[in-house]
Amino acid sequence: MKQPKILAFVMAGGEGSRLSPLTSQNSKPSLPFGSRYRIVDFVLSNLLNSGIHSIYMLVQYKSQSLIEHVRKAWVVSPMRNEEFVTVVPPQMMRGGDWFMGTSDAVYQNLNLIQMHNPDLVLVFGADHVYRMDLQQMIDFHREREADVSVAALPVPLVEARGFGVIVADHAGRVSEFQEKPEKPTPMPSDPTRAYASMGNYLFDAKVLVDALKAAAERGEHDFGQNILPRLKETHRLFAYDFATNKVPGVKPYEEQPYWRDVGTLDAYFNAHQDMLAWPPRFDVFNPQWRIFSSNYQGPVARMLDAKLKNSVVAAGSLVHSASVSNTIVRREVIIEDDVEIEDCIIQDYVHIKRGAKLRRAIIGGYNVIEAGTRIGYDPELDGRRYSVTESGITVVGPGEVTTALRAFSE
């Protein structure tokens, strides 16, 4: 079977208001994740590892740091015109509006589809941490002669109430979409779980173009709320079961498969804990399915009589006589003597001075934590100074406790 020509759109315009104050200067997809990545790196790595190299990233809110990251980290091939990751802000080519919704963002860039003339178009979100071999979804789509395939995650019925739920038969043919239903319809093969939409779609190119034009005429702007429910009445829509996706190199001890929506501060923190757990639920070290990111040119990390336990310290960081436990320390962080850090995420370019104590906290980039500071020990005091999540995680926004207010630039 001849390989189809595929064009991908990555929806990276999310404002990420539920991740405030971490998103005070950056969009959600550009947020740091782990020791050296950004959230957007996961979807881009999945695409490239799956052999999909023609990628447009649609951006909108607070996009400068994301644009800089893609410019520096995602130069795919300057020699081949069909291999690229290109950032596309709102072009206003069909009016004076910004992107009004997910489908409107693609509609405003119909010229890109017409220019490339693909057989299939992928529309994937940039807000999730996961690994996925997209070729398996493409094979599923073609075997069923589908017009649209929607990636579906099996979740317990109680959790499904917070998702858009897909109702499908044993073959995967979609019959209904339910938006955060009180009583989700179970999967046909498992009465305890339901299919939750992952917001990742694969379209026949002509079906997509026609649907976008029709939606624009009706003033509709969203895939999940408008386009897909209408298409299921006239076209072949299928749910692709993400649980069947097998990525090479995933270790037996990892969660099979792993997918997290890191759209809240608690979810963001917990996903980092999944990486720190031993054995980790999600092990980013996989030579057969690499997660790509920026090529940092600074020095390696340096430890001076430091006490480290189950922690990751990124390049360029310097840890003096400090104790760091169950923590992710990103690059060029300075941790002075007698500092104690436990269960934390320390983002780039933070300086933690002598004697400070941090526990169950997220410290945004470019902060200076003064000597003797206590964070995570007094919830009432923390709540007056910073943000505190429902589970008790204290969050200090980027540059919140320093005058060096700058957006992430690397």
- In 3D space, the residue among 61, 193, 208 whose CA is nearest the CA of residue 146 turns out to be 208
pLDDT at 348: 96
pLDDT at 61: 81
CB within 8 Å of 35: residues ≥ 6 apart:
312, 313, 314, 328, 329, 330, 331
pLDDT at 406: 39
Q: Tell whether 28 is in a known binding site.
A: no
Which two tokens mark 257? 């498969």
C-alpha separations of 359 from 313, 324, 339, 395 in Å? 17, 10, 11, 11
Q: Tell whether 164 is in a known binding site.
A: yes
pLDDT at 222: 87
C-alpha separations of 289 from 35, 47, 88, 196 in Å? 18, 11, 27, 25
pLDDT at 401: 86
The CA distance from 126 to 8, in Å, is: 12
Which residues sit opposite 352 in a β-bridge?
335, 369
Under CATH, what is the fold of the domain 302-396?
A: UDP N-Acetylglucosamine Acyltransferase; domain 1 (2.160.10)
Q: How buried is 53 (Cβ within 10 angstroms: 0-12 exposed, 13-18 middle, 19+ buried)?
A: middle
- DSSP letters spanning 127-143: SEEE---HHHHHHHHHH
Helix (H) or strand (E) holding 395: strand 394-396
In one-letter notation, the amino acid at residue 180 is: K
- Options 3.10.129.10, 3.40.50.720, 3.90.550.10, 1.20.1600.10; which CATH number does 6-261 get? 3.90.550.10
The CA distance from 334 to 351, in Å, is: 5
In one-letter notation, the amino acid at residue 241 is: D
CB within 8 Å of 329: residues ≥ 6 apart:
35, 301, 311, 312, 313, 314, 317, 319, 335, 341, 346
Which two tokens mark 321? 């006589």
DSSP state of 163: S
pLDDT at 409: 38
Query: Where do the structural domains in the chain lie, given as residue ranges?
Result: 6-261, 302-396
Which two tokens mark 27? 């969009």
Neighbours of 97 (CB within 10 A): 11
Which two tokens mark 43? 């979807």
Query: Could you list the pLDDT tens digit for every one of the 410 residues in the chain?
Result: 678 999 999 999 777 789 999 998 889 999 999 999 999 999 999 999 999 999 999 998 888 989 999 999 998 877 788 899 999 987 765 555 677 778 889 999 999 999 999 999 999 999 999 999 999 999 999 999 999 999 999 999 999 998 999 999 999 999 999 999 999 999 999 999 999 999 999 999 999 999 999 999 998 888 988 999 999 999 999 999 999 999 999 999 999 899 999 999 999 999 999 999 999 999 999 999 999 998 888 899 999 999 999 999 999 999 999 999 999 999 999 999 999 999 999 999 999 999 999 999 999 999 999 999 999 999 999 999 999 999 999 999 999 886 433 333 34
- In 3D space, the residue among 57, 60, 56 whose CA is nearest the CA of residue 27 turns out to be 60
